[in-house]
Structure 1
Amino acid sequence: MNIIDELTWRGAVNQQTDEEGLKELTDEKKIGLYAGIDPTGDSMHIGHLIPFMVLKRFQQAGHKPVILIGGGTGSIGDPSGKKAERVLQTMEQVHHNEEALKSQMVKFFGTDNFRMVNNYDWLSKMSLLDFLRDYGKLFNVNTMLAKDIVASRLEVGISFTEFTYQILQSIDFLHLYKNEDVQLQIGGGDQWGNITAGTDLIHRMEGQEAKVYGLTIPLLLKADGTKFGKSEGGNVWLDAEKTTPYEFYQFWLNQDDRDVVKFLKYFTFLNHEEIERLAETVKTAPEKREAQRRLAEEVTSFVHGDAAVEEAQHISAALFSGEVKDLTASEIEQGFKNMPSVDVENKKENIVLWLVDTTKIESSRRQAREDIQNGAIRINGEKVTDVNAEIDPASNFDGKFVIVRRGKKKYFLARVK
Structure 2
Amino acid sequence: MDKIEEVLTRGVVEILPNKEGLAQLMRQKKIRVYNGIDPTSPNIHLGNTIPLLKLRQLQELGHEVILLAGTFTAQIGDPSGHDESRKPLTREEIKKNLETYKQQAAKILDFSKVKLVFNGDWLEKMTFSDVIKLSMNFTVQQIIERDLFQRRLKKNNPIGLNEFLYPLAQGYDSVHLNVDLEIGGTDHTFNMLIGRTLQKIYNHKEKFVLTLPLIPGLDGRKMSKTYGNTVNITDSSDEMYGKLMSLRDDLIIQYLELCTLLPLQLIKSLAKDLKPMDLKKKLAFEIVKMYHSEKEAQKAQENFEKVFQKKELPKEVTIHNTPKTTHNA
Bin the TM-score by the shorter chain: 0.7 to 0.9
Q: Give the secondary structure class of the aligned counterpart of 2:99.
A: helix
Partners of 1:149 and 1:191 within 8 A in 2: no
Question: 1:246 matched to which residue of 2?
Answer: 238
- Higher relative contact order, chain-length normalized (CA < 8 Å, sep 6+): 2
1:49, 1:338 → 2: CA distance?
22
CA deviations on 1:183-234 (whole Å, 9 max, x unpaired) are 1111111111111110111101222xx1311111134459xx944638xx95
1:131, 1:228 → 2: CA distance?
32
Q: How far has the Cα of 1:39 moved from its partner?
A: 1.3
Give 2:212's match in structure 1, choosing from 196, 217, 221. Answer: 217
CA deviations on 1:323-365 (whole Å, 9 max, x unpaired) are 657x3xxxx14xx3249xxxxxxxxxxxxxxxxxxxxxxxxxx
Q: Which moved more, 1:188-197 or 1:253-262?
A: 253-262
Question: 2:262 matched to which residue of 1?
Answer: 270
CA 1:88/1:9 → structure 2, altered by over 3 Å: closer, same or farther? closer
The aligned length equals: 315
CA deviations on 1:75-116 (whole Å, 9 max, x unpaired) are 111111222222232211111112232321122213222121
Question: 1:140 matched to which residue of 2?
Answer: 139
Question: 1:194 matched to which residue of 2?
Answer: 191
Partners of 1:17 and 1:215 within 8 A in 2: no
CA deviations on 1:376-408 (whole Å, 9 max, x unpaired) are xxxxxxxxxxxxxxxxxxxxxxxxxxxxxxxxx
Q: How far has the Cα of 1:58 moved from its partner?
A: 1.8
CA 1:253/1:79 → structure 2, altered by over 3 Å: closer, same or farther? same
Give 2:319's match in structure 1, choosing from 334, 337, 362. Answer: 337
Question: 2:327 matched to which residue of 1?
Answer: none
Question: 2:324 matched to which residue of 1?
Answer: none
Q: Give the secondary structure class of the aligned counterpart of 2:117.
A: strand
Question: 2:152 matched to which residue of 1?
Answer: 153
Q: CA RMSD in A?
A: 2.6
Structure 1 segments, 4+ long, off by >6 Å, are none
Partners of 1:149 and 1:190 within 8 A in 2: no
Q: Gapped runs of 5+ residues in structure 2? A: 322-329
Partners of 1:45 and 1:235 within 8 A in 2: no
CA 1:56/1:95 → structure 2, altered by over 3 Å: closer, same or farther? same
CA 1:257/1:83 → structure 2, altered by over 3 Å: closer, same or farther? closer
Partners of 2:56 and 2:109 within 8 A in 1: yes
Look up the equivalent residue of 1:156 and give its one-letter code: N
- Higher-Rg member (1/2): 1
2:268, 2:19 → 1: CA distance?
26
Q: Give the secondary structure class of the aligned counterpart of 1:139.
A: coil
Look up the equivalent residue of 2:30 and give its one-letter code: K
CA 1:48/1:27 → structure 2, altered by over 3 Å: closer, same or farther? same
Q: Which moved more, 1:312-321 or 1:50-59?
A: 312-321
CA 1:26/1:247 → structure 2, altered by over 3 Å: closer, same or farther? same
Instruction: Write the mapping of 1:347-362 to structure 2, written as runs, cut at 5 A.
Output: none
TM-score by length of 1: 0.69
Q: Give the secondary structure class of the aligned counterpart of 2:175.
A: helix
Partners of 2:77 and 2:89 within 8 A in 1: no
Partners of 2:46 and 2:259 within 8 A in 1: no
CA deviations on 1:127-175 (whole Å, 9 max, x unpaired) are 1112223x12222222122223433333412111111001101110111
1:190, 1:236 → 2: CA distance?
17
The structure in which a higher percent of residues are strand is: 1
Partners of 1:81 and 1:149 within 8 A in 2: yes
Look up the equivalent residue of 2:209 and give its one-letter code: G
Question: 1:291 matched to which residue of 2?
Answer: 279
Instruction: Write the mapping of 1:155-194 to structure 2, written as runs, cut at 5 A.
Output: 155-177=156-178, 182-194=179-191
1:4, 1:152 → 2: CA distance?
37
Question: 2:23 matched to which residue of 1?
Answer: 23
CA 1:23/1:202 → structure 2, altered by over 3 Å: closer, same or farther? same
2:272, 2:302 → 1: CA distance?
27
1:219, 1:314 → 2: CA distance?
30
2:287, 2:61 → 1: CA distance?
19
Instruction: Write the mapping of 1:219-234 to structure 2, written as runs, cut at 5 A.
Output: 219-220=214-215, 226-227=220-221, 229=223, 234=228
CA 1:275/1:175 → structure 2, altered by over 3 Å: closer, same or farther? same
Q: Gapped runs of 5+ residues in structure 1? A: 340-417
Q: How far has the Cα of 1:252 moved from its partner?
A: 2.5
Q: Which moved more, 1:68-77 or 1:53-62?
A: 53-62
Give 2:250's match in structure 1, choosing from 258, 275, 293. Answer: 258
Look up the equivalent residue of 1:205 and give its one-letter code: Y
Question: 2:304 matched to which residue of 1?
Answer: 316
Q: Give the secondary structure class of the aligned counterpart of 2:111.
A: coil
CA 1:27/1:259 → structure 2, altered by over 3 Å: closer, same or farther? same
Partners of 2:33 and 2:65 within 8 A in 1: yes
Look up the equivalent residue of 1:229 and give its one-letter code: M
2:291, 2:96 → 1: CA distance?
21
Q: How far has the Cα of 1:244 moved from its partner?
A: 2.8
Look up the equivalent residue of 2:242 and give its one-letter code: Q
CA deviations on 1:12-44 (whole Å, 9 max, x unpaired) are 323522221111112223322111111111112
CA 1:201/1:8 → structure 2, altered by over 3 Å: closer, same or farther? closer
Partners of 2:199 and 2:206 within 8 A in 1: no
